[in-house]
Structure 1
Amino acid sequence: MKICFAASSGGHLEQLLMLTPMMNKYDSFVLTEKTNYEMNKKGLDIVKVPQVNRREKTFIFKFLLLSIQTLFIFLKEKPDVVISTGALATVPMCTIAKVFRKKVIFIESFSKISSPTVTGKLMYKIADQFIVQWEDMIKHYPKAIYGGGIY
């Protein structure tokens, strides 16, 4: 089984890196954004995609290019499961995985205590398993699993 661990840079990636023991246990790779954000690679296979900002005028064009690049990564890597902590840069990988009937597990951000994220609202509709880190978030995602914090 091959697992894609997907997260945008910064806090989303830091949360995802809490799963490094799982990353080391399985054939896996990390999909994240090309940014100046420094991360401790810990011997992980890292694949980087362009950063996209939904507030930019060129968003649609950049998101389309991101989606095409992500499709090529998906076809090359052939993950069986995608585990994501968000945000926008991970939407194409999760969506493509779902189209190819692979499992998608989404972990809503630890920083969201009382309201859902934009990515969470999108992923809730397609994720095979949706995990929240705060019990109060169940009211926004009734079918979610409360998993507690991954920190």
Structure 2
Amino acid sequence: MGAHLLRTSCAAAIILFSFAGCMQRIVQPLRFNHNKHIENGVECGDCHQHFRDEEYSGLPATEVCMDCHEDDESQDPNIKILLDYAERGENVPWQRVYDVAPHVFYSHRRHVRVAGLTCGGCHGDIASLTAPPERPLVNQTMNWCLGCHVERGATTDCIHCHR
């Protein structure tokens, strides 16, 4: 009985600790408005410049933001924060919202160029947000990924994604 209780307690603790990271609120260094940028004709790839050709889309470097905001005289406090980072020559310390486990291989290039997926297909309706998401909009579990692979006739061979 004692060994069973110990195993059950350990399993419960592992599950709770595994989900604890998923439930943490992500706080960004400034309040980025995706919707406003989309309304002004900015596309995802204008800021996340590596999504077509790399494994990771990357978070925008401050110099990318400055392509549009260099002469920005807005009184918006978030623009002032951005300009402060630029003046110091620092990148905005964006926090990743979406990430995969270390043993998972994921390539934005393969999913965007080869499979033709859109940003919203995996990231949800992030384009409508007026503030940064505090959590992923889509719960990208292995079953969620497999569902898409099956639906599109893509490989479901474990070694394809797990290294």
Q: TM-score, normalised by structure 1?
A: 0.25
State TM-score, norm by structure 2: 0.24
Q: Please identify the structure whose Cα radius of gyration is greater.
A: 2
Report the structure, 1 or 2, having the larger helix content.
2
